[in-house]
Amino acid sequence: MAFELGIYHFGELTPDPTTHQPPAPGTRLRELVEQARTADEAGLDIFAVGEHHRTDFAVSSPAVLLAAMAENTRTIKLSSAVTVLSSDDPVRVFQQFATLDLLSGGRAEIIAGRGSYIESFPVFGYDLNEYSELFAEKLDLLLKLREENPVTWRGSLRPPLMNADITPRPDRELPVWVAVGGTPASVVRAGRLGLPLSLAIIGGSYRQFAPFVDLYRKAGAEAGHAPEKLKVSVNSPGFVAATHQEAVEVSHPYFQAGWMANHHQRGQGVPMPKMAYEAQATPAGAFFLGSVQEVTDKIMAQYEVFGHDRMMIQLGFGNVPQREALKSIELLGAEVAPVVRKEIASLEASAARVTA
């Protein structure tokens, strides 16, 4: 797989910092479909949407929104980011994304996670005390559903399946990534299962996450998985504009509003003053924020650290106005992506020659 670049979005309904009014959910959803279409036309590789069950987010059913995107795009991959598998039913998740895969001509993916937002657990009647156990058991079932049909399976937290016919079936093996935020046990589990790793880096120095990637690859190798199977995606907030100043001036008020209104659980907003925001745009910071050259350089610097396979930007967190968001997507696809792909392909070819 060639190096991939894409976008993910949570569909937050942050009040506009100027008008103090949130967008209507229908408006936000239609804007996301337009963003996916623009990303597809710009040549990006993947568009992903999150899952939340609160009134300050528009997307509670990623597969439904991704299906709408499938009908408005041609080649871009479409994924959840993430499917909160712990509070969902793996059978329904598999059926929904198998349907999406068939509709889109084989472009669906699942990024499965435990969820840093926990409002879905009481909504669907799950006990937070079983947070980790629920994910482990349901991931096991999801992978079983992917591998065979009919399915016989037994766990301790969900009713068993006995020779169950689970349809529809996709025409290929449905990609399942595991989302982690830097928990050692989570990266080890992904490595042992041989599942691709989706690593969220939402602040601080990205270099501090290098040991987690190393741990993931070590666990995968010890479990007998080939290196090419152990894919890594780095996912961080950001925004691209013609200049550094424009990127910061356009995006910061919205990012700051979103960080306060939507970050983790209600009432636990995190301040993001402009100085701290700019610090994340420095070469050592986590955000893909700035001009085309700055974002390109950040991706390449991270590639030297992680040797990863995919980069995804949480673009315009807090609802940057649609016009500016679309411009940013176009710059990422037209000016950043071709350079990054070319440089990484050259590095990989040189490494292959050395190895040979």
Write the pLDDT tens digit of every residue in 70-126. Answer: 999 999 999 999 999 999 999 999 999 999 999 999 999 999 998 778 889 999 999
Say which CATH topology domain 4-355 has.
TIM Barrel (3.20.20)
* Predicted local confidence at residue 267, as pLDDT: 63
Please tell me the number of Cα atoms within 13 Å of 100 on its side-chain side: 28
Position 328 scores a pLDDT of 98
**Spans of the chain, pLDDT less than 50:** none
Q: Which of 52, 42, 45, 44 is nearest to 9 (CA)?
A: 52
User: What residue segments make up the domains of the chain, in order of their start?
Assistant: 4-355
pLDDT digits (tens, 9 = 90+) for 289-316: 999 999 999 999 999 999 999 999 999 8
pTM over 0.95: yes
Is the distance from CB of 319 to CB of 28 less than 8 angstroms? Answer: yes
301: exposed, middle or buried (C-beta count within 10 Å: 0-12, 13-18, 19+)? middle
d(CA 215, CA 232): 12
- Picking from 86, 184, 182, the residue whose alpha carbon sits closest to that of residue 139 is 86
Residue 14's pLDDT is 94
| Cα 288 from Cα 254, distance rounded (Å) | 16
Distance between CA atoms of residues 153 and 133, nearest Å = 16
